[in-house]
Amino acid sequence: MVADAVGEQDLRATYYDTAVKAVALMEYKLKSLCTISSTGAHTNYYYRETNSELTGGAGNATAGVPRYAQFPHGDVTETLVSSVISKYAFEGEVSHEDEITDNLPMVQRTILRVGRAVSYAVDTAIAAAMLASAGNSVAIVAGSEWDSDTIANRDPIKNIADGVQTMRADNLNPLNANGYLCMNGTDYVNFATNSKILNHPTYQTVSAVENGVVGMIYGLKIMVTEALEVTTPDVCYIVIAQEAMTWKEAENLKVEQIVDPGIRRTIRAWEQGVVQVTSPNAICKITNTRK
């Protein structure tokens, strides 16, 4: 095997870097719902604002203030929350023999798997934060799950509408360009084969899936990701993107290749960050989607 000149090695390193990042970018789903914010600190603090509307309280109503009376008063309440940066990393090795003689394109397969591993780990962490911090919830009653034995009892549209209304009650509107309905693959199968969904006038599919978005319903983009299967299988979410969560990024995705001539090539990828649920009520859990 002819040794690479320095320039050729640089070009090859650029190829691996670009390829892994391209794979990861396609695989990030829940991360695409977050606002990205850089940080240089290991522990990051943020304020989580209470979404309830301010009122003057009993005997001090906001409406009907008399002439010369003092204005009703209310204070915005914020909760200080801390979050610690985590490293998400993975690497794969390709032997010298596999690289030059294998029937499968092992370098390309390793690039794919390394990129997926990092993005999946990040999305799984975001899914866990959504489960723990969602400020709104709707519970589907037993017997009316999306895979209920009684088909007539399955009513995802009503469940979604109830979820949207809980968020509206907090003066949050998911029915805009940034509203998402996020679910795992099993729930999506039950959801997308339901006649009430298929016949709903707002239901539409997309010609090309991007960042897990497979269609729209009731003004919400439908996002499918198996990262949600890891946390709680029978939960889906309504999320207002770029409002509910922030990804605090200490280090964006980095890729290195380590060549041990004649032995192996290692492709290594990592990033560091943490998800912050800055507006919990901009996330609504719909629980008990499965019996």
* 212 assigned to some structural domain: yes
The reply to whether 97 falls in a domain is: yes
Calpha distance 116→174 (Å, rounded): 29
Statement to judge: residues 124 and 14 lie in one domain: yes
Instruction: Give per-residue pLDDT as tens, 164-196.
Output: 999 999 889 999 889 999 999 999 999 999 999
Q: What are phi and psi of 159, to 5 degrees?
A: -60, -45
- For residue range 216-259, what is the model confidence (pLDDT) as tens digits? 999 999 999 999 998 889 999 999 999 999 999 999 999 988 88
- pTM listed for this prediction: 0.84
Residue 18, SS3 per DSSP:
helix
Based on the fold, state whether residues 142 and 238 are members of the same structural domain: yes
Q: With 90 as the cut, is the pLDDT of residue 163 above it?
A: yes
Are residue 235 and residue 271 in the same domain, yes or no? no
Q: How many domains does the chain have?
A: 2
Q: Does residue 100 form part of some domain? A: yes
Same domain, 205 and 230: yes
Residue 176 lies in a domain: yes
**Which domain covers residue 209, as residue numbers?**
135-245+279-287
- Write the CATH number for 23: 3.30.2400.20
Let me know if residue 20 belongs to a domain. yes
Assess if residue 69 is contained within a domain: no
- Is the same domain home to 125 and 257? yes
Q: Are residues 241 and 253 in the same domain?
A: no
pLDDT value at position 60?
60
Question: Is 83 in the same domain as 202?
Answer: no
Same domain, 96 and 166: no
pLDDT digits (tens, 9 = 90+) for 2-18: 444 444 455 566 788 88
DSSP string, 201-219: TT-EEEEEEETTEEEEETT
Please report whether residue 64 resides in a domain. no
pLDDT tens for each residue of 52-78 = 666 656 556 677 788 888 787 766 667
Q: Is residue 23 domain-shared with residue 122, that is, in the same domain?
A: yes
Whether residues 107 and 162 share a domain: the answer is: no
Integer-rounded Cα Rg, in Å, for the chain is: 24
Query: Phi first, then psi: what are they for 112, rounded to 5°?
Result: -60, -45
Q: What CATH number should be reported for the domain holding residue 241? A: 3.30.1930.10
In this structure, are 251 and 212 located in the same domain? no
64: left (phi over 0), alpha (psi -120 to 50) or beta: left
Q: Which amino acid is at 85?
A: I
- 17 and 157 inside one domain: no
**257 in any annotated domain:** yes
Q: Sorting pLDDT into bands at 50, 70 and 90, what band is 87?
A: very high
Q: Give the span between the Cα atoms of 128 and 116, in whole angstroms.
A: 18
